[in-house]
Amino acid sequence: MNKAQFIAYLAPHFGDNKKEAARAVDIVFDSIVRNIAKGEDVMVNDFGKFKKVDRPARKGRNPFTGETIQIKASKKVRFLPAKALKEVISGARKLEAAPKPPVKVVAKPVVKAPAKKAPAKKAPAKKAPAKKAPAKKAPAKKAPAKKAPAKKAPAKRK
C-alpha cells in the first residue's frame, strides 16, 4: 500500500473527503519524523516503536574487490514491532474487525407535490423562410430553324 492508497482507504472516515484524509496522513507522518529527528522514540500501542539509532564508524569490505574500507558513523531509524503486531503477523492472534466509517446522514429536502397547471399555450411555430436554391441559368434560346425554301412547282408546259 502506498500513500495514495492509504489516503483512499481513510477517505470514507473523513466523509469521503480525500483532502482531509491526506492532511491527516501528512500530520501523522510529519509528527513521527519530527520526534525521531529530535531523538525521541515514537511508540504506537499495539503497533510498534520507531527510534533513532546511532551507528558507529566501522570497517567493512568492498564486495567487488574484497578490499577493506572504512564506513562512516551514521544515524538510522529502527522500527521495533509490538507484541500484538507480531502475534497478528504470525497468525497466533486474529485481527479485529476494521473500524467502519460513520454512517452518512443526508437530510432529504421536503418535496412538495407540484401544483397542477393548465398546459401553457404554445405560440404557433414560425416557419423559417425556405432557402432558395441557387438560380440556374435558363438554357439559351435557339433561333428558329430556317425553313428550306419551298420547291417551286414545275412550270406547266404548253
Question: Which has more pLDDT, 134 or 19?
Answer: 19
CB 43 within 8 A of CB 25: no
- Mean per-residue pLDDT of the chain: 82
CA 58 to chain centre: 49
Say what the alpha-carbon torsion angle 81, 84, 89, 91 is, to the nearest 10 degrees. Answer: 160
pLDDT at 145: 60
Question: Which has more pLDDT, 157 or 97?
Answer: 97
Q: CA 145, CA 141: separation in Å to the nearest integer?
A: 12
Burial state string for 104-135 with b = 16 or more CB within 10 A and e = fewer than 16: eeeeeeeeeeeeeeeeeeeeeeeeeeeeeeee
Q: CA 53, CA 76: separation in Å to the nearest integer?
A: 5
Judge if pTM exceeds 0.75.
Answer: no
Residue 93 pLDDT level (bands cut at 50, 70, 90): confident
Residue 94 pLDDT level (bands cut at 50, 70, 90): confident
Q: Is the pLDDT of residue 158 over 60?
A: no
Question: Which has more pLDDT, 48 or 142?
Answer: 48
Residues 12-71: pLDDT tens digits?
988 889 999 999 999 999 999 999 999 999 999 999 999 999 999 999 999 999 999 999
pLDDT at 155: 62
